[in-house]
Structure 1
């Protein structure tokens, strides 16, 4: 009986007339749209308006993509600026190479500036987008599958990923199946997205706490997934740079959450910094009581 393995897609792009459509880019755009819709719904439920969120999201997404690419290029400069490389490739994001650390950091800074200018609590906005970010990351990982990239060490497991010879890294040409790290991260992020939605309903994790939990959750899983990968990366002391990033950010986020719980155990009473009442629109966290009536949690949950 022939072993069953996960196949890799036979194409990574297709033509529409003279235009080349890269599936990696479509996956990234799909993730952004899903995150935009879910985050907007949560933002409206906490007192904002769709128009206000669209303004925020536009700035954050654009700056976030720039930050994601910059992080990738800065941490792996040899891929673009070493001898024989073409620096123009640093701009070709459709070929892969977006660092989530740079995306979240740059997007958060853009959102913080926007919130300051519009009188909105940044912590509330961060909590609105936290679950959506994990869902977007899960969808984005499908792009790595189509590009046949960012896979892990060789494996004979039944769910091993078949990689075409031209995509196998130097030194691994003799192996055909590898750890599908894109799938591990996709599953981890999807579970995490639903977990954060549950936590936002079950516990008082407003004021930025839910976003901090998102950072901790993602970093914890990424640390172990990163250790399986064999794609080119800078190492320090035998570990990949992103392993240090995952561990360091996890520790910082843990300390931040402890500080948040100690100094701000409750939830803000309004999405607005000036304390004006939050007029909720569409409710995404409605719960039904035993008598059939509906109850709505705090506006800044």
Structure 2
């Protein structure tokens, strides 16, 4: 192709032509690999932050072992409930609801059930759960962004048609009914990935480092920021979902979680300032930050000491 022809050629993001590879009889699905990669990177980020705050790797790992599987189950349950018509009803096979490798995970269900599982373990291990959430929040955002690459490989959950240079090329067999004549669409997977990276930068570089947040405030900010981005990204998508009053169900979920997290953040800022000094019972050392309740001086004892050291009014000073 000549340089002039290349300049006139349309710009777009190509979609992968393959989303599964076979290692003998074992299928390696890109969707699952992206989720696994996200979990690994997120775990690295969370481990570094947790240890910096005074926690132990063993404590975090004991929570993650339960929280990650619970989160995946919760993500699938949320998806099946909110898109039940894909699996139940005439012409549908309920068994397909178990085929997680075909895609379909809801982050809201992952956070909810994963947090529940993590809280149960943290309670038994003597771990301050709000502090753990703060340590894990940026890692969760990183994992979400990497996991979204699975949608790119599956050519799914893209946005409305667009002719912008970063439009995502979708193969004809993946284009939804009514959009067969369009070739490029908004790459919502990329929008969410970039938004998640921005969320991590705001949490780590701007807010947490400057204000030394604790007691769950980092996690509350993560929920707020992610919900804000998910609201407008969700509005771009054209995949068939349940709607109420013209808005997609996930838009309502984003709005509710944003408001709820904002209220929690305000309450924590008023009643739980500073950062936890001890985040895990039995840890070798306390993490940086302010103690939960500042130690109060023993005023009676100090007063007695002052009276003992002060000269009596009846005594003459040795020198004038």
Q: When the two structures are superposed, what TM-score results if normalisation uses the length of structure 1?
A: 0.91
Q: Which has the larger displacement, 61-70 or 50-59?
A: 50-59
Distance verdict in 2 for CA 1:250–1:300, change over 3 Å:
farther
Measured in 1, the distance between the counterparts of 2:67 and 2:163 equals 42
Report what 1:93 is aligned to.
Answer: 100
Structure ID, larger Rg: 2
The Cα of 1:299 is off from its aligned counterpart by 8.0
Runs ≥4 in structure 1, deviation > 3 angstroms?
none
The Cα of 1:111 is off from its aligned counterpart by 1.3
Measured in 1, the distance between the counterparts of 2:272 and 2:284 equals 19
1:115-264 map, 5 Å: 115-198=122-205, 199-264=207-272
The Cα of 1:279 is off from its aligned counterpart by 1.0
1:156–1:177 CA contact under 8 A, matched in 2: yes
2:87–2:93 CA contact under 8 A, matched in 1: yes
Measured in 1, the distance between the counterparts of 2:36 and 2:258 equals 27
The structure, 1 or 2, with the larger RCO (C-alpha pairs under 8 Å, 6+ apart) is 1
1:207–1:300 CA contact under 8 A, matched in 2: no
Q: Pairwise CA RMSD of aligned residues?
A: 1.7
Q: When the two structures are superposed, what TM-score results if normalisation uses the length of structure 2?
A: 0.85
Measured in 2, the distance between the counterparts of 1:185 and 1:101 equals 15
Is residue 66 of structure 1 aligned with residue 57 of structure 2?
A: no
Distance verdict in 2 for CA 1:85–1:299, change over 3 Å:
farther
Is residue 279 of structure 1 aligned with residue 270 of structure 2?
A: no
- 5+ residue gaps in structure 2? 1-7, 293-320
Q: Which has the larger displacement, 46-55 or 227-236?
A: 46-55
1:278–1:299 CA contact under 8 A, matched in 2: no
Report what 2:59 is aligned to.
Answer: 52
Measured in 2, the distance between the counterparts of 1:139 and 1:211 equals 19
Measured in 1, the distance between the counterparts of 2:291 and 2:250 equals 33
The Cα of 1:116 is off from its aligned counterpart by 1.2
Measured in 1, the distance between the counterparts of 2:271 and 2:208 equals 19
